[in-house]
Structure formats: structure tokens, C-alpha cells
Chain A
Amino acid sequence: MEQEQVILRIDGITKQFHQTPKPAVANVSFSLLQGDLLGLLGPSGCGKTTLLRLIAGFERPQSGRIEIAGKTVAGGHWIPPEQRSVGMVFQDYALFPHLTVAENIGFGLRYSKKCSDRVDKLTELVGLAGLEKRYPHELSGGQQQRVALARALAPEPALILLDEPLSNLDVQVRLRLREELREILKATGISGVFVTHDQEEALAIADQVAVMRQGKIEQLGSPEDVYTHPQTRFVAEFVTRANFLPAKRIGQLWETEIGCFKVKKESADKEVGDLMIREEDLILQRADNAPVIIHTRRFLGREYRYCLQTSSGKRLHARTSAEIVLPVGTRVELAVAEQAIRFFPHKDISDNLVMNSCG
């Protein structure tokens, strides 16, 4: 927290394409501090890539303002992409096939005198030393990704944008590059915005996560905050991947088919709704006459993931440490740490029906 300087300010940006009835980006506002890494997280078609392209200058917004490093670049004053001092890493990397690795990395440095020094430094930084003379088609996917990153970083942009930077890679490479990506960006001190549909990736890399849905930001906050305190049901489903249990108010308590729970924060006026319980917060205890039965068990290495079936037929998921092993078919009683439960209003009518049938 040396200096709280805003590097990117988005102010009421709206982008509507001709072919679609709804705007791709609808009145979005936020700002990003110097040195921070923001993850735009959302399902496909939520407008996250459009927002990124608006920042880069490849799309023009209908209304709103974008400011990069204190300079207005869209809204009132239009600055084309090449003058925005923004680096971009594309989903398919967009490496120039007719240029070598070194030429690709140096492409944005044509006016710089220390071009070759900088290229050497970056090649080193992204771990590609020795491959300078290769052509893109001679590289693996992970290596291409590194070239794309180095190329975007070379001109020392004020801001770097990454469009699904890891989505085209194998799982192994993806996990390794995920760590490296954050380290490299932090080492250069350049602020960044990256788009992803993978919640784990967003939580692992970003300083700030913005969850998007239908062109709007549903929640913006630190990864911990978004994960533990989802503000909307969508965020809870998409990021936290929690269980939802229909519940009915009985005095101070909420009654569900697996028991009654206290909820700390809630909307007081509601009589029915859903309780959100994260998979890792469910505690299983063997009990011979309990209503819940273990349906399947999957070993995930460090933990077990159980699928549980309640008497009404609803399925719940629970993760436990690998030490506790309960066979399939075991009847269990469920307990939850109270502060981990959150209340959400019902999503739609069909849920109501389910609840009624549960009694």
C-alpha cells in the first residue's frame, strides 16, 4: 500500500452490438489500483471479453468513460488502441507466424534503442532463453503463451490485458503457468486485467475478482471475500459451488430436511428461501437411523468428495479430509458450522415446488 494510485477507471460503460437485443456490457463501473491484478470471471457470453476489448480499444462503447493512467481513452475523447499503452495477450496468442520468437517479442519496441537488451531480458524472464530463433509453429502451447506474454510486456505498458490466457493449455501446463503468470506480472509491477471462466484460476491469480453476469458486475472484491461472502445467489453458485437447501423459517431458526440452523445475516422479511452450505463445511457423522445416505464417494487425492442423498431424493455434496473414510450406503448425520451458512431467496418457482414436496 505504498501509493494508492488508480491505473484504470471504468465509468458507466455500455456496449450494445447490433445483432443482439441485450447489451453485452451494461453500465459497468469499477477502478483498479496500480500494481493490482483483476480477474474478470463469468460464464461464456457474460460480456467479460467485450469489456476487455473495450479497454483495449478494439470496440467503441455507446456510453461511459474509460480512463487509463489518468488519461481518458474512450468517452468524450477517443484514443486508438496503438496509443493506449496497453498490452494484450490473446486467447490463441496471435503470434506472428512469419517472425521468430525474438522478433515477436521485439515487435512493439521498434522506436526503442535498447530493443535487443529488452528482448533478452524478457526472454529470460519468461524462461525462453535459447529459443529466440525459433518460429511460433516450432513451440509448444505453453511456450507460445510465454512468448505472447513477453511480447505484451516488452513495451512496458501501463496495463496488460489477458483474454483467457490459459484456456488453450493442458491441465499440467496450466497449473504451472498459473503460478508463473502471477509471479512474472508481480515482478514487473504492471497492473493487469484478465478474463477467465475458471473460478479456481481467478481465485488463484487475482488480487481482485469481478464476477460478471449478463453484462453486469455482480460482485467485486478480494478472492477470499467473493468466495466466503457471495453477495448474490449467482456468485454463490458460480464461484463457491455450494449446496443449496430449501428452508422455512420457524422463529429464530431455519428448518431444512437435514435439520434446523441459525443464520447470522439474513433477509428478515422472508419466510422461505435457500440456505447455502459450502461443500467443505458439511461435517459427516455415522448414525444408523439418519435420513441421509452416502450415494457415491470419489477420491480426489487430498480429500474425498461424497455425494449424499436425502430422504426426499435431493443430492448434496461434501468434501472431507482423506482420513475419514465412510463406505457407500452408510447413513450419516450432517452438521454445519453456523457462521458458514448463508441465506438466499428462492431462485424461481420450481424450487418452491421442490420445497413443498419436502414438507
Chain B
Amino acid sequence: MQISRGITAHKPPLFLLITGAITAVAIVIPLTYLVIRTAGVGGEELADLLLRPRTVTVLINSAGMAAGVTLFSALIAIPLAFLTVRTDLPWRRFWLIVTTLPLAVPSYVGSFALIAAFGPRGSLLQLLLEPLGVQELPSIYGWFGTILAITLFTYPYILLSVRAGLHGIDPAMEEAARSLGYSKRATFFRVLLPQLRPSIVAGSLLVALYALRDFGTPSLMRFDAFTRVIFLQYRSSFNRNLAAALALVLVVLVLGILWLENKARSRARYYSRRASRRASQVKLGYWKLPALLFCTAITLIGLVLPVGVALFWLIRGLTVGGGDAVNLAQDMVQPALNSIWASGLAAIAATICALPVAILAVRFPSRITAIIERCSYIGFGLPGIVVALSLVFLGANYLPWIYQTVPILVFAYLVLFLPQSVGTVRSSLLQVNPQLEESAQVLGRTPWQTLREITLPLVRPGILSGSMLVFLTAIKELPATLLLAPIGFSTLATKIWTATENVAFSDAAAAALTMLLVSFGTTLFMLSQEQ
């Protein structure tokens, strides 16, 4: 942080300021338009829209679902964190990785797997039970399926946070409690757990945030959360104002959680201290078996099930369904190419836009550059469906020539994923000593030459991993693709979604497997970046 103060006295070069400002303005457009449009509805109608029973039900659904997901995630994640960090659980390193990996499963792929395995009709389980006369299973749709799916694929947020918290606790704390007369058990409840509270809260808020923003699971599980209702409202095109109003309510909800998260994080800073020694391990003894069963069960449904179910339907589609491999491959090629094309463009766009923003924020801190940087982070508070909806309105009303084209899809990705790109470029810039740039300028280079010859080569690894991250995240994106892609432009994500909605599991299988491969790759890539 200290090194960033090097050249505060200088004014930022004009070309950086202009490109940064353009980016910031562009990023603000969707949210601004949404606000303007909702404001244009008129106070009375707006109040009517927001207070009708339907809206209240959706609010209760979303909030209740997010609360349930958070609770169950915590119940899974906290024991897992203890088992993998503080005990003599056998194969600890293995469990450490496999219990984190469900994070990589996109929620709609996970939902596809659950529906294709346990859905009422035509699912794997129903097919197995059919000889016994079972024609229909109890429904997985609704509250149960939604909470189950989102919990299974988001609990790692709490797991990672609690794990980091556990590593940060000085073992001397526990020893101090012991020397003050507390038994091991009392020490756990009076000292360890209270100190983990900030980590638990931070992780839980991330999970709640994810649950509220998620579109794939509620839509596939037919659960009336905000995201699904906004989508249905948009599609029925009966009352688009209602969709806009609902989207704004969702944004407010998400921003509230983000605010809480920010508060929790700044409070957690007082708690965190580097631990100098490793804490002693808890001997599990007879608890080893239940602990292993618990880890196995979570891994089976969170990780083995999605992969296994996708494989099952792929093979079944090839054998029973009468489809052949060549047909299937041809079916897959176009969506895969579309995915790569759109995501690749998004990665390039995000990197180009992130550079000036990050350089301004790190090297030329001032009020203007701070505003530019904050604007670039707006996408973090916007659910994909909201950005998509706003751009649909904007495109349909004012920019028909760009509506439902690849550029507007890429722009949606840019708004959504620019924060990631700015974040990585920013942190690699912070590691470059500004005195290197100053010496280049003293040696006669202009700011532009300095950027090209000194700064860019030094932050290249950060830029590359940032654009890689955007590429891989954009491939997984569903709602924006669904709403904004040109007609007939199908991607892996939309293919999985459409096929699952139509209970055509075999059609979704190959795309789901490809998606899982990409996702696991992303996660392992990110984990390797952290080390």
C-alpha cells in the first residue's frame, strides 16, 4: 500500500483519464436507465406495483430462500472446516480439495443434475424405480430443490472463509484459555467459536448474496424468487414496468447485503492476526467414522452426482435415445464456438477497460479516479438478470440496430465481470514499485512510453490471469446470454438451461460435462493463483 503513494503529485495522463471516464460512464448506463425507467412509471403506479401481494410473496420467497440456504450452508461448512483444518481426519488434503470443488459447479448445471437424477418424471431415479411401478416421484421443484441446489454449490464460500479464520487464530489464544481454567470443550465454545464469528458472517453474506442473484436454480426449480419472476414478467411482456420495479427491489436487497458484508469485513480486520505456530490437532478417535461419512456424503452429492448424472444421460442419449456420436458432436460444436467467441470478446474488452481504471486508481489516487474505480465495481452489485433486462429495454427502445447482437451481449458481460478484471490488474500493479516508472520518466520517456515499456510488461502476468478469469466466468454466465444473445445464437449455458427446462436430459448432458470441465479448470486455476 505504501508504494502506491509514489507519484500522487502528478496529474494523470489525459489518454488514461479519457478511457477510464468512458468506461465508467458506460458501466453506469444499465443501472441508471433502470432507475430512470422505474421513476418514469409514476409514484402511484409504482407503489401499486410494489405493494401488490405478488411482490410481497416474491420478497418473502427470496429472503426465506436466501436465509435457508445460508443456514444449511453454515451447518455443512463449519464442521467441514474444522475437520479439514484442526483434526486428524484421514486423507485431509484430499477432503480439503474435494469439499471446495462444488464451488466450481454452476448452479444451473447442479440443478440440471439434481432434476435429471431425482425429478418426478423421466429422471434417473424414476427410470430405476419404474419396474417397481413407480410412475412419478415426489416433486423436487420449489423450496426444497432450490435450497438444496444452491446450498450444495455455495457452502464452499463459508468453508473457505472459516478455514482462513481458523488459520488466523493464534494458538496461544486457546492456551491462554486453558491456563485460565477452561477445558478443551469450554475453550472451543468460549474462545474459538466467538473468534470465528466474523469469518462465518462474511462467508454467510457471500452465500446469501449468491442465492439472491442466482437465476439458474430458481428458474429450473420453478421457484418464484425475484430472478425467475423478473424473467417471466419480461417474457410474458405483459407489464414490463413491473419487471423493472422488481429488478430495482432486487438491486436494493443485494446492495444491502453487500453493505453488511463490507462492514463485517472491516470489523474482521481487527481480529485477524498472523498465527506464528500451528495449532495442535484434535484427535477424532471414535468420531473418525461419522466424520468420514459426512465428508463422503457431501462429496457424493456436491461433486460425484453432477458428473455422474451428466455421464449417465450422455451415454443413454448415445445408446437408448438413438442419437449417434457424430450428430451429437455437431450439435455441440456451434454452441461451444459461440460460447468461446462471446466470452473471448468479453475477456479482451474487460482487460482493455480495466487497465486505465486500475492504473488511475493505483497510481493517481484522487477523487475523480476513485469515482471511476467505484463505478467499475457496480457490476458486482447487479444480478445478471437485472443488467440483461436493463439492456433489453435500452436496446429495444433506443438502439434497435444493436439490440440482440453479439456486441450488446459482450457489453453485458463487461458490466458484470469488469470488477474481476480491475481487481486482478489492480493487485498486480500494487506490486510494481512506482519508482521504476519514475526512473523511466527521468530517463526521458513520456507517460505513454512508460506505460508501454515499463508498466505493462511488469503487470502482464496479472493482466493475463485477469482476462483468463473473465473468459472462464463469462462462459458460465446464463441470464444475460439468455436475454441478449442474437436469435439462434445458442451457447453451452443456454443449451443446458433450455434442455433441462424441456426435460430433455440427454440433450443437456454433453454441454453440462463440457461446462463442468471448464468450471473445474477455472477453480483449480484460481486456487493456483492464490498460492
Residues of A within 8 A of B (CB): 56-58, 80-84, 86-88, 90-92, 94, 96-98, 107-108, 110-111, 135, 137, 151-152, 154-155, 161
Contact yes or no, A81 B175, CB < 8 A: yes
Q: How far is the CA of A22 from the CA of B177 in the complex (A)?
A: 31
Which residues of A sit under 8 angstroms from B181, Cβ to Cβ? 82-83, 108, 110-111, 155
With A92-B170, A94-B173: A87-B191 Cβ-Cβ less than 8 Å: no
Q: How far is the CA of A334 from the CA of B446 in the complex (A)?
A: 67
Which residues of B sit under 8 angstroms from A151, Cβ to Cβ? 176, 180
Which residues of B sit under 8 angstroms from A110, Cβ to Cβ? 181
Contact yes or no, A108 B191, CB < 8 A: no
Q: How far is the CA of A56 from the CA of B179 in the complex (A)?
A: 7
Contact yes or no, B270 A135, CB < 8 A: yes
Contact yes or no, A152 B194, CB < 8 A: no
**Contact among B176, B180, B195, B276 with A98 in the assembled complex (CB-CB below 8 Å):** B195
Whether B183 sits at the interface, judged by CB under 8 Å, is yes
Which residue, B175, B176, B179, B191, has most C-beta atoms of chain A within 10 A?
B179
| Interface residues in B169-187 (C-beta closer than 8 Å to A) | 170, 172-173, 175-183
Contact yes or no, B176 A94, CB < 8 A: yes
> Chain B 176-207 against A: per-residue CB contact (8 Å), 1 yes, 0 no?
11111111000000010011010000000000
Which residues of A sit under 8 angstroms from B177, Cβ to Cβ? 96, 107
Q: How far is the CA of A57 from the CA of B181 in the complex (A)?
A: 12
B330 to A: closest C-beta gap in Å: 60
Which residue, A86, A94, A135, has most C-beta atoms of chain B within 10 A?
A94
Using A82-B178, A92-B172, A107-B180 as known contacts, list a sample of 17 further A-B pairs with CB atoms less than 8 Å apart, ordered by residue number in A.
A56-B175, A57-B178, A58-B178, A82-B181, A82-B182, A82-B183, A84-B179, A88-B175, A92-B273, A94-B172, A96-B194, A96-B195, A98-B197, A107-B177, A110-B181, A151-B180, A152-B179
Can you give 26 A-B contacts (C-beta < 8 A)? Answer: A56-B179, A57-B179, A58-B178, A80-B183, A81-B175, A82-B179, A82-B180, A82-B183, A84-B179, A87-B179, A90-B175, A90-B176, A91-B172, A92-B276, A94-B170, A94-B172, A94-B173, A94-B175, A96-B191, A96-B194, A97-B195, A98-B195, A108-B180, A137-B270, A152-B180, A155-B181
Chain B, residue nearest A106 (CB): B180
Contact yes or no, A81 B178, CB < 8 A: yes
Count of chain B residues near A, Cβ 8 A:
20
Q: How far is the CA of A81 from the CA of B184 in the complex (A)?
A: 10
A349 to B: closest C-beta gap in Å: 39
Q: How far is the CA of A36 from the CA of B172 in the complex (A)?
A: 25
Q: How far is the CA of A90 from the CA of B176 in the complex (A)?
A: 8
Residues of B within 8 A of A (CB): 170, 172-173, 175-183, 191, 194-195, 197, 270-271, 273, 276
**What's the A-B contact tally at a CB cutoff of 8 Å?**
68
With A97-B195, A98-B195: A81-B270 Cβ-Cβ less than 8 Å: no
Q: How far is the CA of A98 from the CA of B270 in the complex (A)?
A: 9
Q: How far is the CA of A131 from the CA of B247 in the complex (A)?
A: 48
Chain B, residue nearest A99 (CB): B194
B256 to A: closest C-beta gap in Å: 25
Contact yes or no, A58 B182, CB < 8 A: no
Which residues of B sit under 8 angstroms from A111, Cβ to Cβ? 181
Q: How far is the CA of A108 from the CA of B187 in the complex (A)?
A: 11
Which residues of A sit under 8 angstroms from B270, Cβ to Cβ? 97, 135, 137
Chain A, residue nearest B180 (CB): A108
Which residues of A sit under 8 angstroms from B176, Cβ to Cβ? 88, 90, 94, 96, 151
B438 to A: closest C-beta gap in Å: 33
B169 to A: closest C-beta gap in Å: 9
Which residues of A sit under 8 angstroms from B172, Cβ to Cβ? 90-92, 94
Q: How far is the CA of A173 from the CA of B296 in the complex (A)?
A: 54
Q: How far is the CA of A46 from the CA of B404 in the complex (A)?
A: 73
Chain A, residue nearest B196 (CB): A98
Contact yes or no, A88 B179, CB < 8 A: yes
Contact yes or no, B271 A97, CB < 8 A: yes
A148 to B: closest C-beta gap in Å: 8
Q: How far is the CA of A28 from the CA of B175 in the complex (A)?
A: 23
Q: How far is the CA of A96 from the CA of B175 in the complex (A)?
A: 11
Which residue, A57, A90, A111, A161, has most C-beta atoms of chain B within 10 A?
A90
Q: How far is the CA of A137 from the CA of B273 in the complex (A)?
A: 11
Q: How far is the CA of A57 from the CA of B182 in the complex (A)?
A: 13
A15 to B: closest C-beta gap in Å: 15
Q: How far is the CA of A82 from the CA of B180 in the complex (A)?
A: 6
Which residues of A sit under 8 angstroms from B191, Cβ to Cβ? 96
A101 to B: closest C-beta gap in Å: 14
Q: How far is the CA of A80 from the CA of B271 in the complex (A)?
A: 28
A153 to B: closest C-beta gap in Å: 11
Which residues of A sit under 8 angstroms from B197, Cβ to Cβ? 98
Contact yes or no, A86 B195, CB < 8 A: no
Q: How far is the CA of A88 from the CA of B178 in the complex (A)?
A: 10
Chain B, residue nearest A110 (CB): B181
B190 to A: closest C-beta gap in Å: 8
Contact yes or no, B179 A86, CB < 8 A: yes
Chain B, residue nearest A163 (CB): B172
Q: How far is the CA of A96 from the CA of B195 in the complex (A)?
A: 8
Q: How far is the CA of A96 from the CA of B183 in the complex (A)?
A: 16
Q: Which are the 9 A-B pairs with shortest beta-carbon distances?
A: A108-B180, A94-B172, A81-B178, A88-B179, A137-B270, A94-B176, A90-B172, A98-B194, A97-B271
Which residues of B sit under 8 angstroms from A81, Cβ to Cβ? 175, 178-179
With A92-B170, A94-B172: A155-B194 Cβ-Cβ less than 8 Å: no
B187 to A: closest C-beta gap in Å: 8
Which residues of A sit under 8 angstroms from B173, Cβ to Cβ? 94, 96
Contact yes or no, A58 B175, CB < 8 A: yes
Which residues of B sit under 8 angstroms from A97, Cβ to Cβ? 195, 270-271, 273
Contact yes or no, B180 A80, CB < 8 A: no
**Contact among A83, A98, A155 with B271 in the assembled complex (CB-CB below 8 Å):** A98
Q: How far is the CA of A92 from the CA of B191 in the complex (A)?
A: 16
Which residues of B sit under 8 angstroms from A152, Cβ to Cβ? 179-180
Q: How far is the CA of A87 from the CA of B178 in the complex (A)?
A: 10
Which residues of A sit under 8 angstroms from B175, Cβ to Cβ? 56, 58, 81, 88, 90, 94
Q: How far is the CA of A107 from the CA of B182 in the complex (A)?
A: 9
Q: How far is the CA of A56 from the CA of B194 in the complex (A)?
A: 24
Which residues of A sit under 8 angstroms from B179, Cβ to Cβ? 56-57, 81-82, 84, 86-88, 152, 161
